[in-house]
Structure formats: structure tokens, C-alpha cells
Structure 1
């Protein structure tokens, strides 16, 4: 269902409030530049700092502005199962195409708890789920056997994973058990080349916020087996991939966007702050290397 370059959209703020006009403009730009789907309210969208009302409004805006041109995968995850259910229900009501569901954080559920959590959600809402495994942020790791069991139980509901575990062996484990019907999507821009080579079908990307066309062209080349072009684009983007994580994300991403497009500012919400001088220097160098500055 999903493949290619899929930006995890930033949430623009202006004077403490969501800048809806800038968010709409970002969506149009992303689609025009070749992004194949959109993720509102993910980690890069500062979802933990959004009110429920803001999060649901961003779902609505994204679906409305995308207008069927590309799919919308709404960031619905929570460490509270009932809140995650609520987000999914709203995402379904406003017309999102799927829900991105991060492993519950802080609670540290067991693998059996993860199965119970995701099974409950799959049973309650008729909306495809893309699991999101990022143990570096959540502590909890969705193990391959858990992913496989969930995908076997709910083949029409649990249809893919955004994998930011960094463990490339999981690609083969998932593929051997689930085949190509299960969408394996990379969660780390700097690993996307190798991830696709191992059976991945795209990347839910931070860098695509800033370099949507280059990221889209990279995915097209990589998935088509044009490895010379894919390597060249990967090497053009690689310093930027790394620079965008030289400080707490999305601080560096918003700094980069402020330079590249100008109509999105650097404003983030506490506990995040604007990126450091060292991070800005790295981003500047990454943008220059990519030919974006």
C-alpha cells in the first residue's frame, strides 16, 4: 500500500500556535516535489507536545489538503491504548488512509502486552496500521516474532512497519515469514539504501521535509534497481541525513526549512529548543553538499 519517500511532516508553529497556513503549504510542496505519502503528527511533527485537539485538527488538514493526491498515514500512537484508539477513530472519520502506531512508550509493556495492545486496536477500528518500532525512543522493542504474529493475525489491518531499530536482519526475518505483502519501511534516512536492498519499500523520512525531490528521486532509483543513481543521490544526501540529528529533532530540520523555504520558522515547543550553533553549522554544510543552499 505504501512505498517511496514519505515525509514525517514537521508541525509549523507561529507564536506558540499551529501555523495551519504553513502546514497546508508544506503539504502542497511535498506532493509537488514527489513525496508518495504523508505522515502528520509523528515524532518529527512533535506529536508529544500537541494537544489532542491540535493533533486531530492536523489529521483533518492533511487529509483535506492532500485531497486524495497521496495517501495520509496519521500518527496515532500513544502509551495509553484508549487514547490511541481515540486517535485512530478520528483518523478514520476524517479520511486518513492508515495509522502509524508507535510502540507504547514509558510503560514498557511485555511482548504479550504489545500483542494485546495492537490486537485491540486492529479489532476496534477498520483502518490499516503501520507499526512503528523505535526502541531508542520508546525503550520497548517490537520483536520480529511479535510483528510476525500480529501480521498473521490481522493480515488486512496490520500491513507494514516503520522500522527504526537499526537491526537490518529483521528485514529477512519479516520477509521470510510474511513475504512482500507486508510493507517494510525504513525509519532511518541514512540506512534507506541498504534497507531497500534488503527488501524494504521506502522510508518514512525526516530529510524529505527539507529535500523532498532528492529523497523521492533516490527512492525511485533505489526501488527500480538503478543502483548507480541511488548511490549518487544517497551520497549527495548523506551529510544532511546525519546533520539533521546533531541536535534534538526536529530543531535542526526546522532550521533547515527556514533556510530552504523561508515560510516555516524555527519555532519548536518545550521541552525542545532551537538547535545549537554546532548543529546549525553541520546543517549548513549538509545543505551545501546536497546543493540546497
Structure 2
């Protein structure tokens, strides 16, 4: 397997919308520039934070293309592609894999169906085989999908040549610890929850795929860089700085709080979401404003 191209901090970038709910490509380009300036290592377009489940296939391809064009090859770009039908997930993954310049695909557990471990294995294998040799990063997020990818099944998938790692969002540190103990040396384990980045990296993880880095890319990048070189003292201090913003960003369903802060920062036009997602409450908005002000994120 080639050396890992995904390492360090990846931002699961939001998809900005105009007030009419059309995609705001100009704000998306601005966000990409802010992420690169903040020192992130790669971007993930059209993930959960990018509201991929509300985008049409044409919109998905347009968003990924805009992110790639804005990044201009400066950092790798990965695209999310998840579906509960294996046949449809394969078809869409093949279409996305054809976008020039894409570095890999991220795909989560098939949702709603509650598949067995063998069903998940065959689902992920079908996607990996269909897009090979393009790298595939798996995404375990049972809180949203009602399916947990168990370590034994993951180790079988890790033998596939283009399955390069996993974004682990189970929140189960015992399970993640088992994965870190069993994984091949060239298999990357990313924290999928900002608040677990430090323990996962300390245990041998490759980095973090972050929500918080949408709004504070440099601070999250500093945390991950310190953790990866085992500067625990510095990493702890950065984690303390980020504690309040991490809590605030998950006080209501993601990505509504992140979009609210980005709008306050004048990085996106507004905090429009598509139903069934809703903007944050007034109380949460004020909490977010206070946290963003304390971190110096608000425009001067």
C-alpha cells in the first residue's frame, strides 16, 4: 500500500446555502481558503457535516468539484458517499470517483437496514472493489446509522488494498482501543469526535476528522500537530482552549451550530439549512457568540 495521503487534521467541511437553499459556491470557496490558511491537512466534502443526505447527486458532484477547484491541489480532498442500498452506493461512488483530482472516498455504515457484520463487510467490499485503486476510508457512526462496524469485521476489510483506514465515531473507547491494537501498520484510525482526538492519537491514531476546525482551523490544527509529535503538554493546553467550543458546537444537532458561528464570522452568507435540519435556537446562538468571541474568532 502507498504511504498514507490522509494524516493529521481533516475538516468535514460544511455546505453553505443561500437563503433559497441553493448551494452557495462562493462561500464554499471562501471556506476552503480559510481552512488551508488555518493549516488543515485535508478536506472532506459532502460528509455528515456537509449535509450530504439533503443534497441531490448533481449537487453533490458540484460541491465536490468546487472544493477541488478551490483547493487547487494544495491539500488532498476526500468526498463522502453513503447510501443504504449497496447497489446505489456503488453506482454513486463510481460517479464520484471520476471527478478529476479526488484523493479518496469516505463511506459510512449503510443506515436504516441494520445489516449484519457480514452484510456490512460485503457492502464496504463492493464499494472498495468498484472504485479501486482510489483510497476508501470507512466511517463508523452507529449513532446516526444504527449499525456498528465491529473490530473483527474492520480487520477483514483492512486487508483490502484500497481500504486505507477508518473514521471512528462510535464514541466507544474500548472498541477504538481494540482497533488500534489490532490494525495493520499502514491502516489509519481517525477520531471522528473532536473531544476524543487526544486519547485516540495518544493510542496510535492518525489524526482527527473535525467539525470544530470549520470555525477554528488553526487552533484544532495546533492541537493535532502537538498530539502527533507527542507534545502532551501543549496538546492539553490546546484541548482546554477548545473545550467550550466543542461543547457549544454539539449543543444542537450538527452542523447547525457550526453554520451559526461561520455566519457570525462572515465566512458564509447565513446559517441556512435544509429540512429536517433547523437553525439553532436563540439561546444556543448567544452561547455560540460568547464562545466565538472568547476565542477571538469574531471579525474585528
User: After the TM superposition, which of the residue ranges 87-96 and 68-77 deviates more from structure 2?
Assistant: 87-96
- Following superposition, the deviation at residue 114 of structure 1 comes to 0.3
Measure, in 1, the Cα distance between the counterparts of 2:208 and 2:32.
Answer: 17
**Runs of 4+ that moved beyond 4 A:** none
Mapped to 1, the partners of 2:234 and 2:122 lie a distance apart of 43
Partner of 1:187: 192
1:255 aligns with 2:260: yes
1:24-103 map, 5 Å: 24-94=29-99, 95-103=101-109
Preserved contact between residue 30 and residue 267 of structure 2 (Cα < 8 Å): no
| Alpha-carbon shift at residue 91 of structure 1 (Å) | 2.4
Tell me by how many angstroms 1:97 deviates: 0.7
Deviation string for 1:83-125 (max 9, x for gaps)? 2212321222113111101000011111110011011111121
Q: In 2, are the aligned partners of 1:214 and 1:233 still within 8 Å (CA)?
A: yes
Q: Aligned partners of 1:137, 1:52: CA distance in 2, in Å?
A: 21
**Aligned residue among 108, 116, 140 for 2:147:** 140
Which residue does 2:113 correspond to in 1?
107
1:125 maps onto 2:131 in alignment? yes
| 8 A Cα contact 1:38 1:73, kept in partner | yes
Q: Which residue of 2 aligns with 1:277?
A: 282
Q: TM-score, normalised by structure 2?
A: 0.93
Counterpart check, 1:210 vs 2:211: no
The alpha carbon displacement at 1:220 in A equals 0.6
Alignment partner, residue 3 of structure 1: 7
| Distance in 2 between residues matched to 1:150 and 1:187, nearest whole Å | 19
The unaligned stretches of length 5 or more in structure 2 are none
Deviations 1:191-241 (A, max 9, x none): 111111111111110000000111111111111111111111110011101
CA distance in 1: counterparts of 2:196 and 2:283, whole angstroms = 24
> TM-score w.r.t. structure 1 length?
0.95
Is the contact between residue 239 and residue 289 of structure 1 (CA under 8 Å) also seen in structure 2?
no
Paired residues of 1:260 and 1:292 also in contact (CA < 8 A): yes
Question: What is the alpha-carbon distance in structure 2 between the residues aligned to residue 59 and residue 73 of structure 1?
Answer: 8
Aligned residues: 291
Is 1:287 aligned with 2:268? Answer: no
1:178 aligns with 2:178: no
Q: Deviations over 1:27-48 (max 9, x none)?
A: 1211121110000000110111
Write 1 or 2 for the structure with the bigger share of helix: 1
| Offset, 1:157 | 1.1
What CA distance in whole angstroms lies between the structure 1 residues aligned with 2:61 and 2:91?
10
C-alpha distance in 1 between matches for 2:216 and 2:171:
22
Confirm or deny: 8 A CA contact 2:106 2:136 kept in the other structure. yes
> Any gaps of 5 or more consecutive residues in structure 1?
none
